[in-house]
Amino acid sequence: EQINHALMAFVMLLMKVAPFGIFCLVTARFGEAAAEGELMAMMQQTGWYMMTVLTGLGIHALITLPALLWFFTRRNPYRFVLQMSRAILTAFSTASSSATLPVTMECAEEAGVSERSTDFVLPLGATINMDGTALYEAAAAIFIAQVVGMDMSVMQQVTIALTATLAAVGAAGIPEAGLVTMLIVLNAVGLPVEYVALILSVDWLLDRFRTAVNAFGDACGAAIIDTTFPDAAKATIEEA
């Protein structure tokens, strides 16, 4: 218990100095770029990076997940998006899958997913299943590699895909957790971790989008698993 208290005190201390540390990291990176006359180019790169992540998340949320949902459950996927809209908006505004969990469970049950499935899948999904985070971590690592000018081999890209998926599993369902586990991905392929400063400035916004995708992905998972429960499957199809 005492070790726990000591650790908590240490974490609280880190939380207090974190904003200052992040400020230093970001200003140092942008200051260097400004001194080299590359500030505009860097802003442009960051803009493209944001566009890439948002497009990827959009494709995943509006095409891949709906296709999987339709294939396994024969539900109307876009109606399901509407039914889950309260959870998606809560995830967007809190940037935390864990904080959104009660709303996700409520919406999924209202959408006709059985209580058995929501109770089993959603709490697990809120911490383990993070599609949005995995997608973002892979895109961010490749973006950093391109900024650094590192030519990635196919093996390195596969390593990024694998470690990004595992790092997303390890990330907690709290704001900016993906940014921390991304250091694992950067280390795995030998990318300089200080370049995380490049994406720090826009992470607060991307975090909201990826959390919304994470919560929707969990709900799709619960609906799909629901069809594997024999008696629940019937109810689901009737409701849908």
CB of 175 to ligand ASP, least distance (A): 5
Tokens for 127?
A: 């911490």
Nearer to ligand ASP, 191 or 215 (CB): 215
- Give the Cβ contact number of residue 207 at 10 Å: 22
Nearer to ligand ASP, 50 or 232 (CB): 50
Following CA atoms 18, 123, 169, 3 in sequence, which dihedral angle do they give, to the nearest 10 degrees? 50
CA 205 to chain centre: 12
* Binding footprint of ligand ASP, residue count (CB under 6 A): 16
| Footprint on residues 94-123 left by ligand ASP (CB under 6 A) | 95-97
Give the per-residue contact string, 166-205, with ligand ASP (x = CB under 6 A; - = no). -----x-xxxxxx---------------------------
Task: Indicate the residue whose CB is closest to ligand ASP.
Answer: 178
User: Furthest-apart CA pair in the chain: how many Å?
Assistant: 66
* CA nearest to 64, candidates 236, 238, 224, 234: 224
211 binds ligand ASP (CB under 6 A): yes
Tokens for 159?
A: 């390593």
CB of 217 to ligand ASP, least distance (A): 10
Tokens for 125?
A: 């999904």
CB of 204 to ligand ASP, least distance (A): 10
CB of 173 to ligand ASP, least distance (A): 4
Q: Which of 65, 145, 207, 224 binds ligand ASP (CB under 6 A)?
A: 207
Q: Is the four-CA dihedral 55, 60, 63, 64 of positive or negative sign?
A: positive
Q: Check if the beta carbon of residue 73 is closer than 8 Å to that of residue 223.
A: yes
Q: Which residues bind ligand ASP (CB under 6 A)?
A: 95-97, 130, 133, 171, 173-178, 207, 210-211, 214
